[in-house]
Amino acid sequence: MAQSVFRPNPLYLNAQKVAEVSNSNEDRTTNSANQYGIEGVVGQSIGADEIKLDFDTVTPIQGMDIDVDDLIGTQVSVGLFRNGRMMLSTGVLMSSNYTSESKSGEAKGKFSFIGGAPVLV
């Protein structure tokens, strides 16, 4: 049997690959909750399906391929591979945070996206 292939998952903003992503963290929830009656738990509610995506980038001094700062606070589409399929969602890039270190010369950015129910294709 052939070995599996592993590589970083690419991230897309408005259908453009963000080449500088160094890591990402995606959290999906349906906001489900136990429903209680006199006898205890009688079932579960299924709430709004939503995602939160945090991603870190390396930030070259000349800027990233995508001017992500222009996208903060605007509606964007996000694409991210998860479990062999592309997850697509529309939402908002809600925050950015930049850091740099003179000793190592590193410059990094952190970004957060929130969106509604994703579609897996």
Q: Give pLDDT tens digits for 108-121.
A: 999 999 999 999 99
Residue at 5 is within a domain:
no
Expressed in percent and rounded to 5, the helix, strand and coil fractions of the chain are 5, 60, 40
Q: Read off the CATH number of the domain in which 46 is found.
A: 2.40.30
82: number of Cβ within 10 Å: 13
Residue at 3 is within a domain:
no
Residue at 35 is within a domain:
yes
**In whole angstroms, what is the distance from residue 64 CA to residue 59 CA?**
6
**In whole angstroms, what is the distance from residue 16 CA to residue 29 CA?**
25
3-state SS, one letter per residue, for 48-65: CCEEEEEEEEECCCCCCC
Containing structural domain, residue 77: 11-120
Consecutive H or E run containing 71: none
Residue at 27 is within a domain:
yes
53: number of Cβ within 10 Å: 22
Q: Which residues contact 69 (CB under 8 A, 6 or more apart)?
A: 96
Higher pLDDT, 114 or 5: 114
Tokens representing 54 are 């945090």
Mean pLDDT of 90-114: 96
Strand partners, 115: 51, 91
Q: Which of 9, 108, 119 is nearest to 56 (CA)?
A: 108
Q: Give pLDDT tens digits for 9-40.
A: 899 999 999 999 999 999 999 999 999 999 99
Residue at 109 is within a domain:
yes
Residue at 16 is within a domain:
yes
Q: How many domains does the chain have?
A: 1
Among 2-6, 46-50, 107-111, name the one with the lowest average pLDDT.
2-6
pLDDT at site 91: 97
Residue at 1 is within a domain:
no
